[in-house]
């Protein structure tokens, strides 16, 4: 169990009078969930008591990033909750102890935080997955309410802005006699309330819960302090611009969510299922394996299945990011989420809805936003320590000069302290860093690359060794004719004969020859067909004796084989006609079109490449030479691959990514620093274990994933530098009395807006 990524320590608690022996795991919830730990333990032969639950809850949009951090801290205090992770995209991951609490209590705790949940996905220890949708009138909002809510969202800022401008004009230009004293205070107080009250009330509610030092409290103290010393316009302006910053932030988060949440909007609501000879509309959750479903033109495929009538072309963009349609024929598998574009098709369902590729992707995407990068975790922890320090420093700026400055004017030093508070708000950091990661995850998902958490975006930037499986990763996993060479007879004469013979066999190598030759062999008649076990086929065509098989067949029939042919290491079909050696056909697993580009791109990024395969070394060497891979190892069993990865990881400074697609790759994916699975055709076990999934099955997307990771990392650190740099300068100026509240507003809200705009750039970048 300790080989699995995210499990830091595993040990046995010995049996006592009340309990049997138990396994205890110390784990990182940003790398592995309780659900995964239980599944791995069950596979290892452990009995799982029904103790722990794992929920993924989708809630209505959280008001802002700072709130996500605060809600997370509150949920972790709920009795029985083992871990909670809250994302501003509206996804919450909860791990809880069944013996101490239950799902209803967890949902009640979320309700108590003022968040309305829309859907709940529960993964139980027995690996039963259930999806619970809420009643619409209780938790969901109609579209009309949504547009009305959008208008209401901007109204407070508009009212405050109009009143602030009117007040400043009255103060500086018109100067009416009545606009003084209590009238002036009342005017600015009314201007303050629409934007100030929501922030102040949030701060008060958190104060009551014991969360004293939050951004909401900072802004409330700073603005009320400005009112106390008579700087009414500045007090209103700070809160107004803070609210405008929130609105910009909300729009940016919504934009970042759009590319991620677009996947959540492709869930099909209905499926047309064959029942008693007629197609009946049903929920995809009620459809069983082996049922027959119908998909009309323009409809989305609701469940994974195999085509049982004529094929059609499908738009696969939702799953792969590729806009060009793909054609699927009878007998081929079509995945949930694809859109039928050509003609009506019928499928035999192969997986339940909750086990389908689409459901698996949706779960990955929802959980990805709740898994935080180390940079984001650090900034969150930093903000929790930094804010109280700032408050105490502000108190010091206001009071300590009393002992050193003469004359000491309290209001002057209070003003400086308030400027200090406004400048030091950590919102630029708390907002822009998660936003940068959301942008990275969204940009990757548009390219058909699914990161299971922002922590893996960070880790991808450090990868310097990429180890790849051969079959299914760099090659297509299907046999294709590679080379044809003639000797005593022209190719045009013997090749159709060989294909006609091979058409009588179902062997994959025979199928590859028949597919290559095509219609040229259709009219060739074969008589006296004979299969020679372990050697090949013999038959008569147009009165000539034709042989097709291996070198042993030629020797058996006393046909001399050239030495160069015997030296060939690839899979080979040799052909003889009337006692003469006609020629040979080499068959190999076809290299993917973009495999060479993938390796070249990695070398350009100074990443070393290694290939591992269970195929024979001679074949592996040939593929490695064609692709210019740095090192290649063949004849490996799954356990040998694990040994090789362990050996590579021991290299100085090695950060290893392994790319694979098969069920036997799961242990190596778990062992590597970053496991990358080819998700289109890859096994469920490989996809479950991997940290990154490439839906397009294109190896060139490995380099794309690394570029997105590096771009995201650059933007995040640019924002950290910008926020700290500007704030440090204005803090010094503010404490020295050289900056006013207006400069403080720029240092806080202005920097936050610049950081947001910078973070949004990721979504516009071309990768």
pLDDT digits (tens, 9 = 90+) for 358-411: 676 666 666 766 777 777 777 777 777 877 888 888 889 889 998 888 888 888
Highest mean pLDDT among 123-132, 158-167, 534-543: 158-167
Range from 30-39, 332-341, 454-463 carrying the lowest mean pLDDT: 30-39
Q: Is pLDDT at 421 greater than 90 in this prediction?
A: no
Q: State how far the Cα of 759 lies from the Cα of 514, in Å rounded to an integer.
A: 54
Other CB atoms within 10 Å distance of the CB of residue 581: 20
Q: Render pLDDT for 430-448 as a digit per residue (tens, 0 to 9).
A: 777 777 888 888 788 878 8
pLDDT of residue 263: 52
Q: Render pLDDT for 611-629 as a digit per residue (tens, 0 to 9).
A: 998 777 888 898 999 999 9
Parts of the chain belonging to CATH 3.30.70.100: 7-123
Q: Which residues form the catalytic set?
A: 469
Nearest-CA neighbor of 745 among 244, 299, 381? Answer: 244
Confidence grade of residue 321 (pLDDT, cut at 50, 70, 90) = low
Confidence grade of residue 130 (pLDDT, cut at 50, 70, 90) = very low
Contacts of residue 751, Cβ cutoff 8 Å, sequence gap at least 6 = 428, 722, 723, 726, 727
Mean pLDDT of 126-140: 38
Q: State how far the Cα of 582 lies from the Cα of 240, in Å rounded to an integer.
A: 86
Q: Render pLDDT for 474-526 as a digit per residue (tens, 0 to 9).
A: 888 777 888 899 998 898 899 999 999 988 887 778 888 998 998 888 888 88
Q: Looking at per-residue confidence, does 252 or 761 come out higher?
A: 761
Instruction: Decide: 192 and 44 in contact? Cβ < 8 Å.
Output: no
Q: Is pLDDT at 139 greater than 50 in this prediction?
A: no
CATH topology of domain 7-123: Alpha-Beta Plaits (3.30.70)
CATH code of 448-475+591-708, in short, is: 3.40.50.1000
- Residue 766 in 3-state DSSP? coil
Parts of the chain belonging to CATH 2.70.150.10: 288-351
Q: Looking at per-residue confidence, does 268 or 417 come out higher?
A: 417
Strand-pairing partners, residue 25, are 10
> If you average pLDDT over every residue of the chain, what do you get?
82
CATH code of 476-590, in short, is: 3.40.1110.10
Residue 301, CB-side half-sphere exposure with 13 Å CA sphere = 38
pLDDT of residue 486: 92
Q: Render pLDDT for 63-87 as a digit per residue (tens, 0 to 9).
A: 555 667 778 888 888 898 888 888 7
Percent of the chain with pLDDT over 70: 87
Parts of the chain belonging to CATH 3.40.1110.10: 476-590
Instruction: Decide: 207 and 196 in contact? Cβ < 8 Å.
Output: no
pLDDT of residue 137: 32
Range from 474-488, 600-614, 638-652, 726-740 carrying the lowest mean pLDDT: 726-740
Range from 48-52, 133-137, 565-569, 700-704 carrying the lowest mean pLDDT: 133-137
Parts of the chain belonging to CATH 3.40.50.1000: 448-475+591-708
Q: Identify the CATH class of 288-351.
A: mainly beta
Burial of 188 (0-12, 13-18, 19+ CB in 10 A): buried
Confidence grade of residue 127 (pLDDT, cut at 50, 70, 90) = very low
Q: Looking at per-residue confidence, does 238 or 90 come out higher?
A: 238
Q: State how far the Cα of 755 lies from the Cα of 427, in Å rounded to an integer.
A: 10
pTM for the structure as a whole = 0.71
Phi and psi, residue 480, nearest 5° = -140, 150
What is the chain's length? 767
């Amino acid at each position: 169990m300790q080989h699995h990524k995210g499990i830091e320590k595993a040990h046995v608690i010995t049996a006592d009078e009340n309990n049997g022996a138990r396994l205890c795991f110390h784990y990182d919830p940003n790398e592995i969930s309780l659900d995964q730990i239980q599944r791995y333990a069950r596979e290892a032969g452990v009995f799982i008591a029904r103790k722990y639950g794992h929920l993924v809850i989708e809630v209505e949009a959280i008001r802002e990033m700072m709130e996500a951090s605060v809600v997370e801290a509150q949920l972790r205090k709920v009795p029985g909750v083992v871990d909670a992770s809250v994302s501003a995209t509206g996804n919450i991951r909860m791990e809880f102890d069944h013996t101490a609490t239950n799902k209803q209590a967890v949902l009640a705790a979320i309700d108590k935080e003022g968040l309305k949940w829309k859907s709940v996905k529960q993964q139980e220890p027995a690996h039963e997955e259930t999806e619970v949708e809420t009643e619409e009138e209780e938790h969901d909002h109609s579209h009309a309410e949504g547009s009305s809510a959008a208008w209401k969202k901007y109204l407070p800022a508009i009212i405050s802005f109009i009143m602030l401008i009117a007040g400043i004009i009255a103060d500086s230009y018109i100067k009416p006699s009545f606009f003084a004293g209590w009238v002036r205070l009342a005017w600015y107080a009314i201007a303050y309330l629409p934007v100030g009250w929501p922030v102040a009330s949030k701060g008060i509610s958190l104060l009551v819960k014991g969360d004293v030092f939050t951004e909401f409290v900072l802004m409330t103290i700073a603005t009320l302090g400005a009112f106390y010393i008579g700087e009414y316009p500045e007090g209103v302006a700070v809160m107004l611009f803070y609210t405008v910053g929130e609105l910009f932030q909300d729009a940016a988060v919504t934009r970042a969510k759009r590319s991620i949440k677009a996947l959540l909007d492709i869930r099909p609501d209905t499926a047309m299922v064959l029942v008693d000879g007629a197609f009946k509309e049903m929920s995809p959750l009620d459809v069983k394996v082996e049922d027959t479903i119908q998909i009309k033109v323009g409809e989305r495929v609701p469940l994974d299945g195999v085509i049982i009538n004529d094929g059609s072309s499908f738009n696969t963009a939702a799953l792969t990011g590729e806009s060009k349609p793909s054609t699927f024929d009878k007998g081929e598998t079509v995945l949930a989420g694809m859109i039928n574009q050509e003609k009506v098709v019928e499928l035999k369902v192969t997986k339940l809805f909750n086990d389908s590729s689409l459901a698996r992707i949706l779960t990955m995407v929802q959980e990805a936003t709740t898994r935080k990068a180390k940079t984001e975790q650090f900034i969150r922890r930093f903000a929790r320590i930094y804010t109280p320090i700032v408050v105490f420093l502000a108190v010091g700026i206001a009071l300590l000069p009393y002992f050193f400055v003469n004359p000491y004017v309290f209001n002057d030093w209070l003003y400086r302290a308030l400027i200090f508070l406004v400048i030091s708000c950590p919102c630029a950091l708390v907002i822009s860093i998660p936003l940068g990661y959301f942008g990275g995850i969204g940009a990757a998902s548009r390219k058909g690359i699914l990161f299971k958490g922002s922590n893996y975006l960070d880790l991808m930037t450090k990868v310097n060794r990429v180890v790849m499986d051969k079959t299914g990763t760099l090659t297509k996993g299907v046999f294709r004719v590679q080379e044809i060479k003639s000797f005593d007879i022209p190719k045009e004469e013997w090749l159709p004969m060989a294909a006609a013979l091979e058409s009588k066999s179902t062997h994959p190598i025979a199928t590859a020859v028949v597919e290559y030759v095509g219609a040229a062999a259709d009219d060739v008649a074969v008589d006296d067909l004979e299969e020679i076990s372990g050697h090949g086929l013999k038959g008569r065509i147009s009165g000539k004796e034709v042989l097709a098989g291996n070198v042993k067949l030629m020797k058996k029939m006393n046909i001399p084989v050239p030495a160069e042919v015997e030296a060939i290491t690839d899979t080979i079909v040799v052909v003889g006609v009337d006692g003469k050696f006609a020629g040979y056909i080499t068959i190999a697993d076809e290299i993917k079109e973009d495999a060479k580009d993938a390796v070249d791109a990695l070398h350009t990024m100074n990443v070393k490449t290694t290939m591992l395969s269970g195929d024979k070394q001679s074949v592996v060497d040939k593929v490695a030479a064609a692709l210019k891979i740095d090192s290649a190892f063949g004849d490996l069993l799954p356990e040998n691959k694990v040994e090789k990865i362990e050996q590579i990881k021991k290299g100085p400074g090695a950060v290893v990514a392994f790319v694979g697609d098969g069920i036997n790759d799961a242990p190596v994916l778990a062992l590597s620093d970053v496991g990358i699975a080819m998700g289109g055709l890859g096994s469920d076990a490989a996809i479950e274990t991997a940290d990154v999934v490439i839906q397009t099955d294109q190896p060139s997307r490995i380099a794309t994933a690394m570029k997105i990771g590096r771009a995201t990392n650059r933007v995040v650190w640019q924002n950290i530098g910008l926020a700290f740099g500007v704030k440090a300068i204005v803090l010094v100026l503010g404490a020295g009395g050289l900056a006013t509240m207006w400069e403080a507003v720029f240092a806080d809200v202005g920097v936050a807006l610049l950081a947001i705009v910078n973070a949004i750039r990721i979504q516009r970048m071309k990768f």
